[in-house]
Structure 1
Amino acid sequence: MESGLGGIVMLAATPIGNTDDASARLRRALETADVVAAEDTRRLRDLAGRLGIEVKGRVIAVHDHNEGERAADIVRVAAEGGTVLVVSDAGMPTVSDPGYRVVSEAVATDVPVTVLPGPSAVLTALALSGLPTDRFCFEGFAPRKAGERVRTFGALAAEPRTMVFFEAPHRLLDTLRAMSEAWGADRPGSVSRELTKTYEETRRGTLGELVAWAEESQPRGEIVVCIAGRPAEALGTDAAVSEALARIDAGERAKDAVADLASTTGLPRRELYDAVLRARQARAADEPPR
């Protein structure tokens, strides 16, 4: 379905850096939509200026803080025969960006929804990473607080798929360190920054190497991190104990974590459970008294 048919909500991907990546469909939709719901109206006007086009429809701001309140009104425009275009600052709406509530409202009220595909930081970084792409998962932004990062990465310790994360430059080093502690310094990964822009860069290596690089270079710009999933081969006892501890820290029961790891590694369950108990006792003994 194309812009101009009316009675539809359109999600449109916008350039993630290079304006030349704007599609012809995006240009037409920006010029003809009755309403353009933009994450940041100033950035939308700037994009239109760089594209040399005029946004003739009504422009409204729809962001994380007001989308819930405005979703019904936006969808009502389409229900009454209008064309609504939803755009975020960069990339595809709904992917760590506003748009999900609008789509949910449209689906709930049986209003047609379509997508104008285009640039995606997730897929671009994944393709550049050199890691397996046949199966992957997108995890959004890593938690800001250290304790939440530990729990999140512990819960992902057994994830076999390539994992993709967004991250802010000032938190990148802490995130890479936490990943290295949770999954091992030898886990392969990549860090991509400033995708499609003049200073685009992708750094590949183990988590240990990426930590050292981030410490030295202090990278800036918009960042996407890709990390390989857990290797399919069986883990050794030490690695299995480390993974069990990470999963327990994330809230999993010790018996459940050990049972799962024993079944996937072939290690004797009782032997692994005893090793985990010893490791927990040793860790508790090393902790300073409160």
Structure 2
Amino acid sequence: MVYFIPTPIGNLDDITKRAFLALENVEIIFCEDTRVTKKLLNLLNIPLNKHFISMHSHNELKILSNLDINMLKTKECAYVSDAGMPGISDPGSKLIQFCQENEIPYTVLPGPSAFVTAYVASGFEGEFCFYMFLPHKGKERTDKLKEIMKSGKIAVLYESPHRIAKLIKEIQDIDSEREIFLAKEISKIHETYIKAKAKDIKLDNTKGEWVVIIDKTDKTKTLNLTYDEIIKLNLPLKEKSKLLAKISDKSQKEIYNSLLNNG
């Protein structure tokens, strides 16, 4: 059995009872960083009488190619990333795929996750998409951010302390009026929440990993033309009648027929 175990993202007391017991009882722990995991176990007063295997994004394919499938089926094993939920912007997914392909029993324990905590703290409501990290630079980054901000859904993403100021500027350039929510150091002593329009965000301290939540577009602000101005637009009748119906008490069909009859 393989247990995928979420670990505290800040406050050590965020460890769940199930996660604690699993860490205490497993024989083998695959770790994103063995040093971080051993430190966590020491803080939890869990003995280090286990076999620790380093398994991170740079070596996981190599590790998987040499894994003893029978060992995973017969021994109690765990995967632990450095903080939070394995597989969420952290390694872990490839080991899950390996378990699925080889009929190895596994389970994922619920627990701390930064983007879920930040989304609830934001107070935004509605559908949202989680994009993890944006591309670091170039046209790929610019195009992705524009796509996100035009999606019509709340966007949740992660950003590093080195690029957070750049991201805020990029959001301001696209839509300075868009409301955003920022969270860092979640569940730690210096936990910080910021909620404001993009144009009003000023960061004095960029240290720490950031969760950035971008509110969806307010589509009610996109139509600022009068009825007569829309009539004069060079648009197909179907599109024109659809726009006119939004700002009048007439149906789209009624307007369409009127436009058709009046040439």
TM-score range, shorter chain: 0.7 to 0.9
How many residues end up aligned between the 2 structures?
A: 232
Deviation, 1:22, is: 0.8
* 1:70 aligned onto 2:63: yes
**What's 1:112 paired with?**
105
TM normalised by structure 2 equals 0.81
- Counterpart Cα distance in 1 of 2:120 and 2:107: 25
**What's 1:136 paired with?**
128
Listed as ranges, the gaps of 5+ residues in structure 2 are: 226-235, 245-263
TM normalised by structure 1 equals 0.74
Matches within 5 A, 1:86-97: 86-97=79-90
Q: 1:163 aligns with which of 131, 155, 174?
A: 155
Q: 2:49 aligns with which of 34, 50, 56?
A: 56
Conservation of the 8 A alpha-carbon contact between 2:131 and 2:157: yes
Deviation, 1:87, is: 0.7
Which residue identity is paired with 1:15? P
Q: 2:165 aligns with which of 170, 173, 183?
A: 173
Deviation, 1:98, is: 0.3
Which residue identity is paired with 1:205? A
> Residue 220 of structure 2: SS of its match in structure 1?
coil
Conservation of the 8 A alpha-carbon contact between 1:63 and 1:98: yes
Larger radius of gyration: 2
- Counterpart Cα distance in 1 of 2:19 and 2:200: 40
Which residue identity is paired with 2:172? S
Which residue identity is paired with 2:156? V
> Residue 25 of structure 1: SS of its match in structure 2?
helix
Deviation, 1:79, is: 4.5
- Counterpart Cα distance in 2 of 1:205 and 1:222: 19
**What's 1:47 paired with?**
40
**What's 1:224 paired with?**
211
List structure 1 segments (4+ residues) > 3 angstroms apart after TM superposition.
Answer: 72-75, 77-80
Which residue identity is paired with 1:198? I
- Report sequence identity in percent: 31
For residues 76-112 of structure 1, what are the alpha-carbon distances to aligned partners after superposition, in whole Å with 9 as ceiling and x for unaligned? 1554411220110010000000001101111111222
Structure richer in helix, relative to its length:
1
Deviation, 1:232, is: 4.2
**What's 1:187 paired with?**
178
Conservation of the 8 A alpha-carbon contact between 1:14 and 1:91: yes
Which residue identity is paired with 1:91? G
